[in-house]
Structure formats: C-alpha cells, structure tokens
Amino acid sequence: MKPFAVFPLHKKHDLVQVESFEHSRFLAGGTNLVDLMKHQIESPDQIIDLSGFEQAYDITDSEQQVTIGTMVSNTELADYAYQQPGLSLLSQALLAGATVQLRNRATTGGNLLQRTRCYYFYDTTRPCNKRKPGSGCAAINGFNRNHAILGTSEHCIASHPSDMATAMTALDATVHTCNANGETRQIPVRELYRLPGDTPHIETHLGADELITAVSIDKTPRGTHIYQKVRDRSSYAFALVSVACTMQVKDGIISDINLAFGGVGSQPWHAQAAEEYLRGKSATTELFEHAADVELSSAKGSGYNDFKIPMLKRTLVHVLTQASEHQNQHPEHEGAIYAR
C-alpha cells in the first residue's frame, strides 16, 4: 500500500493509505461524484475525503495574484469575486451556474473536474464511450440538443458543463496540483483538459494520484467583463451557449481581449483564433461577425444541436458589441456590466 504524501495538509491524519489511485476518487463537495455513484457510473473502491484540508479553504490575495484553495465553495468564491472588479467575470459565471444550495456545497477544484451532463452518459442502458470505452456513442445519432459543436470526435460529442471553468479559461487561470509523491506542478486551465479523440473517458492531463490544491488568477487589468449565458429557462440550467469576455479598447482599437465559450465545446473553449483576429483592430460589428466565423469555421453540429452555431455567433457579436461600446464610453473601466 502506498502512502499518499499530500496528506500532511490534513488535520486528522498525517498520511492516508491508498491502495490504488486508479480505483479511488477524491471527494470534495460531492455534488457530482455522489450523483455519479447513485447512478452506478462511478463505483470507487476507496473515497479520499478532502474535507480536512484546512489550507485548501483559503483565498489568499497578493499584489500579483489571487490564489483560491481547492475546497473554497462556489458561494464563497462568488462573494469574494463580486467585490473584486478584476474578478467580475468569475462572479457572474458562478452566480449563473447553480442554485444557492449547490453553490454552498460545490468546491473550486470539484467544479473544474465535474463531468458531462450528456443524458446517455447517465443512462447505463445506453452505449457510451466515455462511461464504457469502446461501447459506442448513443448521442451522435440520438437526441443531442445539449451537445458540443467544437472539439468533438466521432467517439464523443459531449459538452463540458462548467460556467466557472469557462470564466477561468477566459481569465487564463492556473491550476496548482500535488501528487502522491509530493511533487507539485502548475497547469494553465487552458491546458488542463483533453479533447475526446478516441479516448473520451480520459478528460484531463492530471495523473490518477494528482490532486488540484488551488487555482490562481493574475491580477492583470482586463477592462470590461461580460459573462453572457443562454439557456432553456432563465433560472438555473446548463448553458446552451455562453460567452466569457474581457475587453480593453483604446482609441477605438481593441488592445486586449480574452474569450471563452461554454456549453459548446468538449472542453471549456478558449476562443484563441477569434482573440488573435480581433486584437489590434478597430471595433466594428463587421469585425465581430468575421471573428465569430473564424472561430466557428471548425464547428460541427450533430442534428438537434445545429442551432448552436448561429446562436453562438449571435451571442458572441452581441457581447463584443456591448463590451466595446462600454469601453469606448468608459475607457478606464475595470469590471462587469450587465449584458442583455
């Protein structure tokens, strides 16, 4: 049996014995893992309870960055981010993401690692390559209205469900990890997730024994923040399409922009091609439409979700228009405005 070296952080035990990390799961808030266990999609031999990680409940604020412990709840993080203009995007995404009850339980690390809400993933009577590799994908020719249009493969078209991860992708956050040997590393959130390819069951670049201990975000001025979420009902629901955007405009020119999409990608989608297309150019509606076309050139619908392609384009153009108009009127502004 191998001792798990991260556990000196633990208030109850110095070390916890873990038989096999492949067959174990870390438990944080449990808002996704417990559901998966009830549906018999996950049946770990061992649960590694993270509730005693005292240092993982802290938010620390330095001159350069904010560091959020992995066990910080979504409620606490939303409240904190709400008071920090430079984290407005994160606050908007978290508040749009789930009910108060869920936000009270859900944690920062757990939110990043939540699994897809593909209906067939949760239905153990249907084939699913993510749940059972090699069994097929019931969604590709099934009811795929909520599914992804970017980054998909012929083996899986599931979308990533997290609003928070979408905002953190736009904010270029960094994940801090530690493994069973006590080795630490830092991974940009933009590089945390894997595309499904022919192994959709492997969703991140984390090792089986690698724990997210914290997430940090640089305190860089980013201008106007907008998180626009389109969903089936105005109360809590997963995004059909969401756009996370920060933009700075100087003398009518887009000097800085960060963009990510939710609800449309097999991972929180960093819209890098659109960012590069927009940077240094004059903010016009025509430019925004071209930027959407550039980013969506590889988008592919699967039938019921074809509507997401024009919906994402319209949402993106709307958000970019709102952000640029606001920046033109308030060039020194840092923080959120409310998009409609």
Binding region for ligand SF4 (CB under 6 A): 116, 118, 120-121, 128-130, 137-139, 156-158, 200
Q: Please identify, using beta-carbon distances, which residue of 152 and 224 lies nearer to ligand SF4.
A: 152
Minimum CB distance to ligand SF4 smaller for 32 or for 224: 32
- 71 vs 165 by CB, closer to ligand SF4: 165
The partner residues of 128 in beta bridges, in order of sequence, read 137
Instruction: For residue 61, give the DSSP letter.
Output: E
């893992």: which residue's tokens?
A: 33
- Output 200 or 263, the one with its CB closest to ligand SF4: 200
Strand partners, 225: 246, 336
Q: Which is nearer to ligand SF4, 137 or 274 (CB)?
A: 137
* Residue 272 three-state SS: helix
Find the shortest distance in angstroms from Cβ 118 to ligand SF4: 3
Q: How far is the CB of 158 from ligand SF4 (least distance, A)?
A: 4
Nearest C-alpha neighbor of 75 from the set 54, 106, 51 = 106
Comparison of 138 and 247: residue with beta carbon closer to ligand SF4: 138
Q: Distance (Å, rounded) from C-alpha 280 to C-alpha 287?
A: 11
* Contact (CB, 8 A) for 44 and 21: no
| Number of alpha carbons in the 13 Å side-chain half-sphere of residue 269 | 29
Cβ-based nearer residue to ligand SF4, 140 or 260? 140
98: nearest Cα among 107, 87, 109: 107
- Scanning 30-118, the segments in alpha helix (DSSP H) are 33-38, 74-82, 88-97, 100-105, 108-112
* E strands in the chain: 2-4, 16-18, 24-27, 46-49, 59-61, 65-69, 174-178, 184-188, 211-218, 224-230, 241-250, 253-262, 269-270, 335-336
Q: How far is the CB of 244 from ligand SF4 (least distance, A)?
A: 23
Task: Please state the closest distance from residue 298 (CB atom) to ligand SF4, in A.
Answer: 18
Q: How far is the CB of 167 from ligand SF4 (least distance, A)?
A: 23
Helix (H, G, I), strand (E, B), or coil: what is residue 310? helix
Considering the complex, state which of residue 111 and residue 116 has its C-beta at the smaller distance from ligand SF4.
116
Closest approach, Cβ 139 to ligand SF4, in A, equals 4
Total residues belonging to the chain: 340
- In the complex, the smallest distance separating the C-beta of residue 261 from ligand SF4, rounded to whole angstroms, is 18
**Distance in Å, CB of 136 to ligand SF4, minimum:** 8
CA separation (Å) from 284 to 118, 170, 297? 37, 21, 20
